[in-house]
Amino acid sequence: MRVLGVDPGLTRCGVGVVDVAPDRSARLVYVGVVRSPADARIESRLATIAAGIREVLAAHRPDVLAVERVFAQQNRNTVMGTAQASGIALLLAAEHGIPAATHTPTEVKAAITGYGAADKLQVQTMVARILRLDALPKPADAADALALALCHAWRGSGLASSGAQGPLTPAQRAWADAERASRR
């Protein structure tokens, strides 16, 4: 399954594409950040974000798009721009004929690290291990986009949402795989 993860934002919108095999192993296909200038008009910024996401959709043809679910309670100045960018990402999925899904930050952290309150460095570290990257994916928006894509692939399997179904949760298994790989 090829998943495009989008960490929505106006100044920096993270986009990451991963291939996830039925055995849950994952491979990095593409990662990047779409930026728009803070002093541009809002409609122009959204068009820049849309153009960047469209390029990734056209170049990598994902099967599904996963975007971070934005909450009004995240009472930052930027929350409305973030919500608008997430709406753009969802619209583009529909227009490309692929399904979209949203996941909360807590769901993403839990899927990737096994711990819903994990910090950014833990998430980045796990993303790098799962994808066998030589360095942490940067900036954080890019890492978050990859984490979202991985979270979707794992949760989407219908197993990831319950850690009680096997001896290891997907995240624990990924940790174990990554640890094993790093000792080779």
Peptide bond preceding 139: is omega within 30 degrees of 0, i.e. cis? yes
Among 21, 59, 94, 176, binds its own copies (CB under 8 A): 94
Is 119 in the active site?
no
**Which residues in 5-64 contact its own copies (CB under 8 A)?**
41-44, 46-47, 50
Nearer to its own copies, 70 or 150 (CB): 70
CB of 145 to its own copies, least distance (A): 17
Token match 């993303």: residue? 127
Q: Give the burial string for 82-112 (b: 16+ CB within 10 Å, else e).
A: bbbbbebbbebbeebebebbbbebebbbbbb
Is 107 in the active site?
no
Give the ranges where 96-119 is alpha helix by DSSP (H): 105-113
Among 52, 63, 90, 122, binds its own copies (CB under 8 A): 90
Query: How far is the C-alpha of 153 from the C-alpha of 181, rounded, in Å?
Result: 21
Q: Judged by CB under 8 A, does residue 106 bind its own copies?
A: no
CB of 41 to its own copies, least distance (A): 7
Residue 7, annotated ligand binder? Answer: yes
Angle between helices 170-183 and 105-113 (to 10 degrees): 50
Is 68 in the active site?
yes
Residue 24 contacts residue 154 (beta carbons within 8 Å): yes
CB of 77 to its own copies, least distance (A): 9
CB of 155 to its own copies, least distance (A): 16
Distance of CA 51 to the CA centre of its chain: 18
Residues with catalytic roles: 7, 68, 141
Contact residues toward its own copies (CB under 8 A) are: 41-44, 46-47, 50, 65, 70-75, 79-80, 83-88, 90-91, 93-95, 99-100, 102
Known binding residues for Mg(2+): 7, 68, 141
